[in-house]
Each structure stands twice: as structure tokens, then as C-alpha cells.
Amino acid sequence: MKSLIIALLMLLGVGAKAQITKVSLQASGLTCSMCSKAVKNALEKVSFVENVQVDIKNQQYNLSFKESGKVDLDALNKAVQDAGFSVASLKATASLSPTKLQKDEHVTIGDQSFHFLNAGNQTTDGSITFSVVDKGYVTAKEFKKYSAMTKMPCIQTGRMAKCCSTGEAAKDARIYHVII
């Protein structure tokens, strides 16, 4: 009983203090410097983005966020798509209370839910970097591979009809599927 209470308190603490601190994303379909600039400009217009640094060597965009801003990964994806490109990969770094992650576990970061597909009793030290593997964040081939990692119903679209862990109905809940 004591361990159940401690685990519950840890989970509540994770949701209350967790926050995405930075994102690195790669866009696909870029053919020139004008393409890269269009993506950069689109990302800079997202309300919660503080700074966008372009890493030309690694062909990625490193984003930092305003302290008071609510980070929405789908808004970043939409900005890239509105610029005429697609996200090839998105890695997020979050600060959270030290916790032990399990495979197929949901963790709240900020006010968003993340389904860890491959965590296996990994303990975080207060920071974690993960990759989003939902449709629109990886190739179709990669999505197929990652969706085979779980039998939970929320993997198909990222929007779930039933909660993965409890089976309870959830309206327009967004769960990001991620790997470490």
C-alpha cells in the first residue's frame, strides 16, 4: 500500500512540474536555402516559440520556447506543413521529476500526454529526450514499425477513442506516441 501511494505521488509530481524545454526537428522536401528560410520563418511565427536556430550541417531546426508559452507539438508540425514541407523527425527534451518509465505508459508533460512505446524500467534524472513517432512526424514505413510496438488502440491516429491504459472514453484527447 505504501509503495502504491509513493508511485501515485510520483506520477502527480511528474505532471505538475514537467515541461518541454526544447525541440529539434528536421523538415523533409527542402531543396534550397529559400526552402530552409521559409520553414524557419513559419516556425518563428508560432506564438510560443522564443528562438529558432538553423543547424545547416545537420539540416535541423533547434527551437527554444517562451517561459509562459504552452508548447504544442502539433502547432509546430502545422507550421512546417503550412510552409509547404513535412516534418521528417521531431525530438523533444523535457524536464520532469525523476521517475521510472515503463513500456506503454502515459506520462503527462505540461498538459499533454505522451505514450512511451519502448521505455523499459528506465529512470529519468530530471531530463528526458524522446522522438515523436506519430503519423506526420516520421515516414510511413517508420510509423508502421512503431505502431507494431503496442496493441493499444490509441496508436492509429494519435487521437484516441479510448484511453490506452484504462479503456475509458476520452473526447479529443491527444496522445503523442514517443520512443526514447
24-43: pLDDT as tens digits: 999 998 888 899 999 999 99
Structurally, how many domains does the chain consist of? 1
Kindly give the pairing relationship between strand 60-65 and strand 49-55: antiparallel
pLDDT value of position 18: 66
Tell me what pLDDT residue 160 has.
40
Q: Hey, what amino acid is at 109?
A: I
**Residue showing cell 512511451:** 116
Inside any domain, residue 2 = no
Instruction: Give pLDDT tens digits for 138-173.
Output: 988 999 998 888 877 765 444 443 444 444 444 557
In a domain, 8, yes or no: no
Q: 178: part of which helix (H) or strand (E)? A: strand 175-179
Name beta bridge partners: 86.
28
Q: With pLDDT > 70 as the criterion, what percentage of the chain qualifies?
A: 79
- Residue 9 inside a domain? The answer is no
Residue with cell 506564438: 47
Q: How confident is the model at residue 124 (pLDDT cuts 50, 70, 90)?
A: confident
Domain hosting 134: range is 15-179
Q: Is residue 97 part of a domain?
A: yes
Whichever domain contains 65, its CATH number is 3.30.70.100
Instruction: Please state, as a whole number, how many other Cβ atoms lie within 10 Å of the Cβ of residue 120.
Output: 9
